[in-house]
Chains A and B, each alone.
Chain A
Amino acid sequence: MPLPYSKKVIQHFNKPHNYGKMKSPDGVGQVGNMVCGDVMKLYIKVTQNKKGQDIIKDIKFETFGCLAAIASSSMLTDLVKGKTLEEAVNFNREEIVKELGGLPPIKVHCSVLAGDALIEAIHGYLVKNKKPVPKALNERHIKLAKEKQEIAKTHQAC
């Protein structure tokens, strides 16, 4: 197989940014599953900026997965750190692939997974703090939860 990874991907894999467990995070999102061999956990710490908006003050990831999964997680943390939650919710995950200098098509799902983990972490924060959850965010959360259930079911079946 050709080695399909850009220099940037290899760099993030060799020296990932913002990894490890976070002590007392404000929001945690975990996505992925063992069936396809990726599990991603994202921790966020939230604070308010001068305008009183919620922003991601700190972000950390833990990933069980391939090189592309680790590099995608690392890149995501770089891209959304310091962003407002609103910006982060609307974050386009294609940015991850773009900033990494591309991913092979078969590995694009790793960047999707990273984006999902962010959604889950923000959702977790909003619910925990009894803040209003935007409709679109809630819909994505429900969809992810459903997928999780379905995979658990098929996994049990085999």
Chain B
Amino acid sequence: MPKIYLDNSATTKIDKKVFQAMLPYLKEDFGNPSSLHCFGDIAYKATIKARNQVADFLKCNILEVFFTGSATVSNNLAIFGVIRLAQKKGINKPHIITSNIEHPAILEPIRYLEKNDEIEVTYLAVNKEGIIKVEDVKNNLKENTVLVSVMLANNEIGTIQPIAEIAAVLGRCPERSEGFQYPLFHTDAVQGANYLDCDVNSLGVDLLTLSGHKIYGPKGVGILYKKRSVDIEPIIFGGHQEKGLWPGTESTALIAGIGQAVEGIRNQESGMGKGERVGKLRDKLMNGILQNIPNTFLNGSQENRLPNNINISFEGVEGESILMALNEKGVAVSTGSACASGNLGASHVLMALGIGIERAHSSIRFSLGKYNTEKEIDYVLKVMPEIIKKLRAISPLK
């Protein structure tokens, strides 16, 4: 049986070059980057190399690159860091604007602060295409708005948000032009990084999050870009590492790995052909399913979408059963349905599209990556109709 991985939005296979770049720091070059001797020097230089690789990708200064423990850490650091400083500055109840399809690593820290009665929040609704309206950001700005956080691209449906347009709106808001730093603009670029331009100047963001393992790099390491002119409060305390924002001895191997991974996506997918190859395979799989299997629906915009993402609802069939049936055929995908207990409902992202609970529970996400081949796509297209036919025969929803 083949083993076909179509879950690249969950995690990616580590690139060989990345693996090679990490190895020395797990072996002979084990020094602490903070140590004042030749062992420390080698490790320190590795972190500087990685910082440069990231700065080249984001078109920023190396002093603006912070390595953290994961993208979840970066998001938490951005949110709590901004809020804690705003509180310190005497802003009574800071206001955050975000979207209702953000990743839990954004929504949960925000909800925590909201439940604690520390902040006010506006959750912007997306349209049925899965995209927020720029005017909604503008219309919801308040005097106490300190942070706007909108993801670059969504992890479940791959829809791309108008980040540069939001930045333009924020740039014109009076508070900012008077030299006051608020509202700050953060984007979670974890899913978009492989395929979209992450130049922080053209995006117009103050803070940006990246993950290592979604870009063929290692797990356990993330990046927070923080513009030099922007201040945030630390949320954990210890040594001087990462300028005190993420203290703790640097994991040199992971940092070398994420640096190489970032360089990899900058080189491989850059320019006009960004995502072109994966996009062709994606289109073949997507169109093949939509055309050959009746009562299937694409969730989210077809145009403003990452080239590797497909999210389809198969009417009358529960997502987890499709996932498991595909797994039996050697194909790995994910679902927005969690048929696990009464409390775990359908995906908040799919529900936000207004497609209804049944379609939300019938969804499958295929996320392609650079290692997928046309042969694999042909195989999936071959096994898919039979799986759906069989599960529909079992289903009471006709």
A-side residues, CB < 8 A to B, are 3, 10, 13-14, 16, 19-20, 30, 34-41, 61-70, 106-107, 109-110, 155
Q: 29 A-B Cβ contacts within 8 A?
A: A13-B325, A16-B394, A19-B393, A35-B342, A36-B339, A36-B340, A36-B342, A36-B343, A37-B319, A37-B337, A37-B345, A37-B361, A38-B339, A39-B396, A39-B397, A61-B394, A62-B396, A63-B394, A64-B316, A64-B317, A64-B395, A65-B321, A67-B321, A68-B339, A69-B321, A69-B339, A70-B394, A106-B340, A109-B341
With contacts A38-B318, A64-B316, A67-B321 known, is A109 near B396, CB below 8 A? no
Q: Residue on B with the closest CB to A155?
A: B357
With contacts A19-B393, A20-B393, A39-B397 known, is A13 near B339, CB below 8 A? no
Q: Residue on B with the closest CB to A147?
A: B342
The 8 tightest CB contacts between A and B, nearest first, are A62-B396, A66-B320, A66-B339, A41-B396, A37-B339, A37-B361, A67-B324, A34-B357
With contacts A30-B396, A35-B357 known, is A70 near B321, CB below 8 A? yes
Given contacts A64-B361, A65-B318, A66-B340, 10 further A-B contacts (CB under 8 A): A10-B328, A13-B325, A34-B358, A36-B344, A37-B345, A62-B395, A66-B318, A66-B320, A66-B337, A106-B340
Query: How many whole Å from A141's CB to the nearest CB in chain B?
Result: 19
Alpha-carbon separation in the docked complex, A19 to B338 (Å): 23
Q: Residue on B with the closest CB to A151?
A: B342
* Chain B residues, CB < 8 A from A19: 393-394
B-side residues, CB < 8 A to A, are 316-321, 324-325, 327-328, 337-346, 357-358, 361, 393-397
Alpha-carbon separation in the docked complex, A40 to B339 (Å): 13
Query: How many whole Å from A5's CB to the nearest CB in chain B?
Result: 8
Q: Residue on B with the closest CB to A14?
A: B328
Alpha-carbon separation in the docked complex, A107 to B324 (Å): 14
Alpha-carbon separation in the docked complex, A64 to B394 (Å): 7
Judging by beta carbons under 8 Å apart, are B338 and A37 in contact?
Answer: yes
Judging by beta carbons under 8 Å apart, are B395 and A37 in contact?
Answer: no
With contacts A14-B328, A34-B357, A34-B358 known, is A64 near B396, CB below 8 A? yes
* Chain A residues, CB < 8 A from B320: 37, 65-67
Judging by beta carbons under 8 Å apart, are B396 and A40 in contact?
Answer: yes
Query: How many whole Å from A144's CB to the nearest CB in chain B?
Result: 14
Alpha-carbon separation in the docked complex, A110 to B324 (Å): 16
Query: How many whole Å from B320's CB to the nearest CB in chain A?
Result: 4
* Chain B residues, CB < 8 A from A63: 394-396
Query: How many whole Å from B161's CB to the nearest CB in chain A?
Result: 24
* Chain B residues, CB < 8 A from A34: 357-358, 361
Looking at the complex, which one of B318, B341, B342, B345 makes contact with A64 (CB distance below 8 Å)? Answer: B318
Alpha-carbon separation in the docked complex, A20 to B357 (Å): 23
